[in-house]
Structure 1
Amino acid sequence: MFAGLAIAAGYAVSRRQSGANLDNPVTKWFDRAPLLGGAAGAVALWIVVLLISTDVSAVYVVIAIVGGAVVGTLVGMAVGQAVKEQARVSIDVRSVAVAAAVAAVAAELGWVLFKELINKVAWPSAKARIPFPQLDGVTGKALQVGGVTIQRSAIFTVAALVVCAVVLWFFINRTRLGRGMQAVSQDPDTARLMGINVDRIIVVAFALGAVLAAIAGVSQGLQNNNIDFRMGFLAGLKAFTAAVLGGIGNVYGAVVGGLVLGVVEAMATQYIPGQFGGSTWKDVWAFVILILVLVFRPQGLLGARVVDRA
């Protein structure tokens, strides 16, 4: 990140020095600046909080990270607007030399700061299982409804699923940015000719996926009560399986595929007798369903068969 911003700054400086006026688009860092600024701001403010006091609650850490992301995004937007007019530059010896010098200085300063932070910040162990924060109302004693035991974390997961599905549907189908995202997914070249900023749409799509993944991570942490570095691997496989079950590229199909996958695992755990049942075999039966769908309905449950025409 330091090197990339330094190169962009070096190009801008060389543009001012050379005074050239060419039409070759060399860099579009002004489109990535808000995203880079948001990430850098969140990490920086989190480090500041840990340097001040290591004994802070999860709520303050979340507030610090979100606040840092907001401030960093605003700074990134300001930087993007400042260098936007300098995005079209000339590549000559002076520009490359200036960019390399600025990148080297920024990388060296970043390495010095990184070494200082490594020694002063109490970083968590990568292999240790860390207890997940308990939230009032979301975690606690399970609810008894008749003869059924319902975990509070399961209620939170279902509620988050409904809210995210509704908000995502509204964003994709009722907002200008969401419709632009659909156009880019169908034909990015034609979308670009229609005036859609394809690069910005891609950044928004990745940011939206990160937000949804964060919500899923919180739900999984509340259910497992512990987090570790391997917890996302199997969840990622299950997410891919759910997307294939519902139909790749179909948002509603992914939701249906996830629900079908969960029901299959629950039924396999409870109702399949013998050595092929139980919780140890639930993942096996989930991937058996995936194989059957790929064999008999490759487009997924809600996917449409696409026919290529000459």
Structure 2
Amino acid sequence: MPGFPTTTKVSETARRNGRLAAGERIVPEETPVAFSYAGSTHAVMMATPADLTDFAVGFSLTEGIIADPAEIETVEAVAEDKGIDLQIRLADAQNDALTARRRHMAGPVGCGLCGIESIEQAVRVTPSVRSSSLTLSEEDVVEAVRLLNGQQPLHMTTRAVHGAGFYVPGKGLVAVREDVGRHNALDKLVGAARRAGHAGDAGAVIVTSRVSVEMVQKTAVIGSPFIIAISAPTALAIRTAEEAGMTLIALVRGDEFEIFTGAERVVADAARRSDRG
């Protein structure tokens, strides 16, 4: 997989200490990334051109194109004049299924559900995670966000990208991915976690963005019963999480947070320490 630049240094004029002065800043690249299956473009997303195999696998999983990473035979990133074409080769059965339901969409970074063909697609049935027995302590919630804040090198450089992490109790963050698009960061995380063999129901999804309905849907697709965010959720995201039996925690600030659904999965710190002992 070829490497593509993820940042660019640009000139700027900044006001510092009451004065305007010439300077420079590092900003993230934002590149059209096409997902092509069997030679036909299925979607185009504006994204950070990094972790492209993870992106291909995660997007294919959360879009329901595949159920397992093994159903992808190859991924090749081909540089085009103005973007990148991710050429994804599926096993024959998955190719046939995709052809039968193919749809086209284009997604700018601020958009969650672009190019779908009906209202029914926007409010698609979200898989239930109600049967999951995973619990987190209050301490786990705080630690997960703290760890993610310290493992975002691209954001530390640019202050302009989102992060997503997969937290497993007792192990910490086992995967982290970044992107200019919050949905893209989550798709990349899904791909990275599944390619590394982490089961979705073994951990929690941690994100640095607000929680939209699609973020909940993507989390449910991989089987995780937790989504934890530093920003607020939408009303539809809360209703969808409730229906799916998911625990939605948001507005994590230091050791404070708010639980919107599934509070029974969050246990007191003392109880979790006793369980681990």
TM (norm. structure 2) is 0.30
Hey, which of these two has a bigger chunk of helix by percent? 1
Hey, which of these two has a bigger chunk of strand by percent? 2
